[in-house]
């Protein structure tokens, strides 16, 4: 088969997949239990980053649509949803999760087409989203207040109560997976939600909402697609939105905090990262190289907890680098719909341009490009936003490529000589989402875990996001924790009841 025929085959494969995934779905906003067009009638287009062609047109919602959705959510909170007990809420959430599971293949295909991630990985992430919804449905049953012993003839107890309408803004890199981190705890604790999905990848959020029809009462779950300034800003500024949650980059997080301040609205923010992986001289090199490759090349590096700075002890640097280059070569770049593809394209043109600009900057700053740095030399992939696994050596911690979040498959190798230098380099960053430690010495691992300024520390692995394990950051990486029981506290407020008891009659 010549290149032209192969190239055409990829395009035809994706066109068929788009037709299959979208054949029976109308991608409208989901407001008050029904699919709607934007109030203006305008739409925007989401595209397949492999062939740069349209997947679907989506309503371009504005402040009027946000107002309608918030009103619906408030009415539901004050009405039917507010009258439902925790056991029934849990049952309904689990029923919705089962409905999503029944449509796993369609959701996975939509996610792959919309984001460019390998189909196998996309389906696994759909499974993860379903698992988180069920997890929160189940643990909410035991979430509540407590009795507090006090002196005197009083009974003191607390109870946890929902805020009401929660505004949630979700990112483009893990669309349905990270949506589940927010909508799960919000609904499980009795709130209602208005979600603004990323305009770049809104399809699974919209379809998942449609699959709640007949399960969740009208107005409980609302999904309003649109651009940040037209839909996101009105949501964060709305006085009836009593809780906000956002995942995305830190400058947008600042803007959301400022908007929230006007209404004294509590926020949960999961922001950026520039996470270090410290490889100590006693490390198992294969373990280190595999963890490093997974930590930067999974999802084409578009992960907030990516291990994007590898801090190597000088004694192990040469051996590690050779093994790491081998593992990078194993991350096969190709069509996400083909079995065996490990890395698809970047999710959109803007991200491609950002990543390639950083690669050019790294060379200008004096770093040594060991591999990658450009699109694959494969005519079959020329229409997509592909970048090869890229590794820079001779990086100093003051370079911009070592300090700024690139959000692509670009790794920086740095060198240290002793423990104190490694910890200083690891912490000399504005972010503090994750840190990774590779060592065979348990005492050293515990010490490093204590000294690294980050919300998540993993030892000898690049972890997934396990049910019940808190996830969130220090410093500019955010506020609050997701994925765990304590997340339920972020979606409820404490009421204290202090009751005088009469003295008993003897």
Q: In 124-153, which positions are buried (b, 16+ CB within 10 angstroms) versus exposed (e)? A: ebbbbbbbbbbbbbebbeebeeeeeeeeee
The neighbour count for residue 305, using CB atoms within 10 Å, is: 24
Q: Which of 270, 290, 411, 482 is catalytic?
A: 270
3-class DSSP state of 110: helix
Using DSSP bridges, classify how beta strands 309-313 and 410-416 pair: parallel, antiparallel or unpaired: parallel
Whether residue 304 lies in the annotated active site: yes
CA dihedral of residues 174, 227, 230, 197 (deg, nearest 10): -20
In the numeric block, the tokens 């949960």 are attached to 268
DSSP state of 105: H
Q: Supply the angle between the helices 104-115 and 119-139 in degrees, to the nearest 10.
A: 120
Closest by CA to 405, choosing from 159, 173, 64, 214, is 173
3-class DSSP state of 238: coil
CA-CA distance, 205 to 216, in Å (whole number)?
15
Q: Which of 304, 405, 411, 482 is catalytic?
A: 304
Structure tokens at 46: 């989401």
Which residues in 14-66 belong to E strands, given as ranges? 29-31, 34-36, 43-48, 53-59
CA-CA distance, 174 to 176, in Å (whole number)?
6
Tell me the helix, strand and coil percentages in the chain, rounded to 5. 45, 20, 35
CA-CA distance, 310 to 326, in Å (whole number)?
16
Q: What's the chain's Rg over C-alpha atoms?
A: 24
CA-CA distance, 368 to 134, in Å (whole number)?
47
What amino acid positions are annotated as catalytic residues? 270, 304
């Amino acid at each position: 088969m010549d290149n032209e025929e192969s190239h055409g085959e990829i395009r035809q494969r994706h066109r068929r997949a788009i037709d299959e995934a979208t054949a029976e779905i109308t991608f409208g906003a989901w407001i008050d239990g029904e699919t709607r067009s934007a109030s203006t009638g305008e739409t925007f287009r989401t595209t397949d980053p492999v062939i740069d062609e349209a997947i679907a047109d989506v309503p371009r919602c504005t402040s009027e649509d946000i107002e309608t959705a918030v009103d619906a959510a408030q009415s539901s909170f004050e009405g039917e949803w507010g009258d439902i007990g925790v056991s029934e809420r849990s049952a309904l959430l689990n029923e919705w999760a089962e409905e999503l599971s029944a449509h796993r293949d369609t959701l996975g295909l939509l996610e792959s087409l919309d984001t460019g991630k390998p189909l196998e990985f996309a389906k696994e992430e759909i499974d993860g989203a379903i698992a988180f919804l069920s997890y929160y449905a189940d643990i909410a049953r035991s979430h509540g207040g407590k009795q507090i012993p006090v002196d005197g003839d009083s009974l003191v107890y607390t109870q946890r109560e929902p805020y009401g309408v929660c505004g949630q803004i979700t990112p483009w890199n893990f669309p349905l997976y990270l949506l589940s981190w927010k909508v799960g705890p919000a609904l499980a604790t009795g709130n209602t939600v208005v979600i603004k999905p990323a305009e770049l990848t809104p399809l699974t959020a919209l379809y998942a909402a449609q699959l709640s029809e007949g399960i969740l009462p009208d107005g409980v779950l609302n999904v309003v697609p649109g651009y940040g300034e037209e839909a996101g800003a009105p949501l964060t500024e709305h006085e009836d939105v009593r809780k906000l949650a956002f995942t995305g980059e830190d400058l947008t997080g600042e803007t959301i905090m400022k908007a929230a301040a006007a209404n004294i609205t509590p926020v949960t923010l999961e922001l950026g990262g520039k996470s270090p992986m410290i490889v100590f001289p006693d490390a198992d090199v294969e373990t280190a190289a595999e963890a490093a490759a997974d930590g930067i090349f999974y999802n084409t590096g578009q992960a907030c907890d990516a291990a994007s700075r590898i801090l190597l002890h000088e004694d192990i640097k040469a051996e590690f680098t050779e093994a790491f280059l081998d593992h990078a070569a194993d991350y096969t770049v190709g069509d996400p719909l083909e079995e065996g593809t490990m890395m698809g394209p970047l999710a959109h043109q803007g991200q491609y341009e950002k990543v390639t600009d950083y690669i050019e900057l790294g060379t200008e700053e004096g770093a040594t490009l060991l591999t990658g740095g450009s699109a694959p030399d494969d005519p079959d992939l020329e229409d997509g936003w592909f970048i090869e696994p890229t590794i820079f050596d001779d990086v100093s911690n003051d370079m911009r490529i070592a300090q700024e979040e690139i959000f692509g498959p670009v790794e920086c190798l740095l060198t240290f000589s002793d423990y104190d230098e490694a910890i200083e380099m690891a912490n000399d960053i504005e972010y503090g989402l994750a840190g990774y430690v590779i060592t065979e010495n348990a005492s050293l691992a515990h010490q490093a875990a204590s000294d690294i300024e980050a919300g998540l520390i993993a030892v000898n692995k690049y972890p997934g996001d396990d049910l019940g394990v808190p996830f969130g950051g220090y410093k500019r990486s955010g506020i609050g924790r997701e994925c765990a029981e304590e997340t339920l506290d972020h979606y409820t407020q404490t009421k204290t009841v202090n009751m005088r008891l009469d003295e008993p009659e003897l």
